[in-house]
Amino acid sequence: MIGVLSLQGAISEHAAVLNKIGVSNKAVLNQDDLKGLDGLIIPGGESTAIKKLMAYNHLFPAIKKLIQEGLPTFGTCAGMVLLSQPESFDMLKATVVRNGFGRQQQSFEEDLHFDALADPFHAVFIRAPYLTDVAADVNVLASIDDKAVAVSKGNVLATAFHPELTDDVRLHEYFVDHFVN
């Protein structure tokens, strides 16, 4: 059972991808919803809003503990921000640059190469972050110039873009196959 943190942002789109690939999932809105999860998706949206709502719903310390104890977690866009920030989940040692590619109007799409995928992944970037100064223990899976836009470390996978907004299910499959199962 994969939980989708359902406080703010692109929530239903992640659930739709999981449904499409036949992976059972449920919305995470409170601490009870965290019981028995095999994995967690932290969607894109607005990291400051998600952080405030996690605090308000008494979710922040509980989720942080689960992730730090090894719960497979996939963060997209704002989810990458939260996984990186030292004051948030502090799972990826790197400098996270929020809105690093500019504002809404500078949103863009780009085909990215992943070693693990046979063909490029068409990635949608919306007020996306990127990572720099990435620590040696963090795997950079895809980058644009010197900006890391997909990374993994241990139980954590993070992308600066929104894989749930295209028809391409391969990164969700990658998460389920390599991190959850």
CA–CA gap between residue 40 and residue 42 (Å, rounded)? 7
Whether 69 sits among the annotated catalytic residues: the reply is no
Answer yes or no: is 152 a known binding residue. no
Residue 29 tokens read as 């809105």
Answer yes or no: is 103 a known binding residue. no
Whether 113 sits among the annotated catalytic residues: the reply is no
Answer yes or no: is 45 a known binding residue. yes
Q: Are 144 and 131 in contact (CB under 8 A)?
A: no
Q: Measure CA 22 to chain center.
A: 20
> Minimum distance between the CB of residue 32 and ligand GLN, rounded to whole angstroms?
26
Q: Are 175 and 74 in contact (CB under 8 A)?
A: yes
Whether 14 sits among the annotated catalytic residues: the reply is no
Binding mask 88-127 for ligand GLN (x = CB under 6 A): ----------xx--------------------------xx
CA–CA gap between residue 76 and residue 129 (Å, rounded)? 10
* Catalytic site positions: 77, 162, 164
Annotation: binding site for L-glutamine: 45-47, 98, 126-127
